[in-house]
């Protein structure tokens, strides 16, 4: 999963979804994943409905289905685990293609697969249509504590820089013929991790000095706090009600 972290998933487009306020998208995404998570697994129709709406949103966002599919591979380890369940699970068994599996286990597999894939699709849609600084801004508008927001903002700002430094260290090591295959050869990697920490910490101190030099007092100054833009409430509300309503109907019906 390491490689996936190094770049954002944003897809540059000009769709309605891209233009939505980030806080609206955050609320919508959260409402959708919570609804998906609480839907009972027997309500197969509900998951079909969610999938249809998400597919529709993907189309409106002009995200290629292939992009979504590739990004969904991030949940692969859990899918593997889910596929294993029928064989290690307990309870009543049945035969599928001549193999004895647990009935309850099959439901378990379905449950994890459906929820993990749908939930991840919602997250991928959110990140594909919202740039990282906007996500952070959305969190701030949704009243996530300021200290948490400030630290996160700095992390995002310096992430690429530090990842680049890491990359240069690795290139420098490879250029001198370092190609480790066993943990016993890992010392240079660990040392470079230590060196990278020292560099990061020292950069933190220099940035702090640069902040003090411009009148920093310990709190990040905030430009006049943005009020929550309610113009997009209708769309968000519709999505959340649609998903939550489905989840509730499914809960009652099963």
Partner 1 sequence: MSGVIDIRGVEYSYPDGRKVLNGVDLAIAAGERVAILGPNGGGKTTLALHLNGILQPHAGTITVSGVPVAEEHYREVRRMVGLVFQDTNDQLFMPTVREDVAFGPMNLGLTDEALDQRVDAALEVVSGAEFADRPPHHLSGGERRRAALATVLSMEPEVLVLDEPTSGLDLAARRELILTLADLPMTQLVITHDLPLALELCPRSVIMNGGRLVADVTTGDLLEDLDLLAENRLELPYGFDRSTDHPGL
Partner 2 sequence: MTVIAMHAPDGFLEAGTAVVTGLISLVVIGVALRQSREQLKDKAIPLAGITAAFIFAAQMFNFPVAAGTTGHLLGGALAAILLGPSVGAIIVTIVVVVQALAFADGGLTALGYNILNMAIVPAYGGYAVFRLIRRMFPSTAGGVVGATGIAAWASVVMAAVAFSIQWLFGASAPVAFDTVFGAMVGVHALIGIGEGIISALAVGAVLASRSDLVYGAQDLDTAQLAESKVGTRTFVIGGMLVALVFAAVVSQFAVGNPDGLEKVAEDRGFIDSAEEHSLGDFIFADYATDGISNEALSLGVAGIVGTVVTLLVAYGLFMGVRETRTRDPASV
Least distance in angstroms from the C-beta of 172 to partner 1: 19
The β-bridge partners of 96 are: 99
Least distance in angstroms from the C-beta of 18 to partner 2: 15
Please choose which of partner 2, partner 1, none residue 231 contacts, taking the beta carbon within 5 to 8 angstroms, the exact cut-off set by kind. Answer: none
Least distance in angstroms from the C-beta of 3 to partner 1: 20
Q: Which is nearer to partner 2, 146 or 234 (CB)?
A: 146
Please choose which of partner 1, partner 2, none residue 233 contacts, taking the beta carbon within 5 to 8 angstroms, the exact cut-off set by kind. Answer: none
Please choose which of partner 2, partner 1, none residue 215 contacts, taking the beta carbon within 5 to 8 angstroms, the exact cut-off set by kind. Answer: partner 1
Q: Which is nearer to partner 2, 169 or 231 (CB)?
A: 169
* CB burial string 90-128: b at 16+ within 10 A, e below: eeebeeeeeeebbebbbbbbbbbbbbbbbbbbbbbbbbb
Q: CB atoms < 10 A from the CB of 160, how many?
A: 12
For CA atoms 132, 137, 143, 149, the dihedral sign is: positive
Task: Provide φ and ψ at 240, rounded to 5°.
Answer: -65, -45
Residues at the contact surface with partner 1, assessed by CB under 8 A: 133, 136, 153-154, 156-158, 160-161, 203, 206-207, 209-217, 221-224
Least distance in angstroms from the C-beta of 133 to partner 1: 5
Taking alpha carbons only, the member of 166, 156, 130, 179 closest to residue 29 is 130
């Amino acid at each position: 999963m390491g490689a996936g972290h190094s770049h954002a998933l944003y897809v540059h487009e000009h769709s309605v979804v891209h233009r939505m306020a980030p806080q609206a998208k955050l609320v919508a995404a959260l409402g959708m994943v919570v609804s998906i998570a609480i839907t009972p697994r027997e309500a197969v129709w509900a998951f079909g409905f969610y999938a249809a709406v998400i597919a529709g949103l993907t189309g409106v966002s002009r995200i290629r289905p292939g992009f979504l599919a590739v990004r969904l591979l991030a949940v692969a380890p859990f899918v593997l685990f889910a596929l294993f369940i029928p064989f290690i699970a307990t309870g009543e068994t049945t035969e599928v293609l001549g193999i004895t599996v647990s009935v309850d286990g099959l439901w378990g597999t379905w449950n994890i697969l459906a929820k993990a894939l749908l939930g991840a699709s919602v997250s991928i849609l959110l990140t594909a249509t919202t740039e990282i600084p906007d996500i952070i801004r959305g969190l701030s508008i949704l009243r996530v504590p300021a200290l948490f927001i400030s630290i996160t903002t700095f992390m995002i700002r310096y992430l690429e820089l530090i990842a680049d430094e890491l990359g240069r260290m690795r290139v420098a090591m490879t250029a001198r013929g370092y190609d480790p295959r066993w943990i016993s050869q890992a010392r240079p990697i660990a040392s470079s991790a230590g060196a990278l920490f020292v560099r990061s910490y020292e950069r933190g101190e220099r940035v702090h000095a640069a902040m003090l030099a411009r009148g920093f007092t310990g709190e990040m100054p905030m430009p006049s706090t943005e009020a929550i833009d309610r113009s997009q409430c209708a769309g968000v509300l519709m999505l959340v009600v649609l998903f939550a309503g489905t989840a509730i109907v499914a809960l009652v019906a099963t």
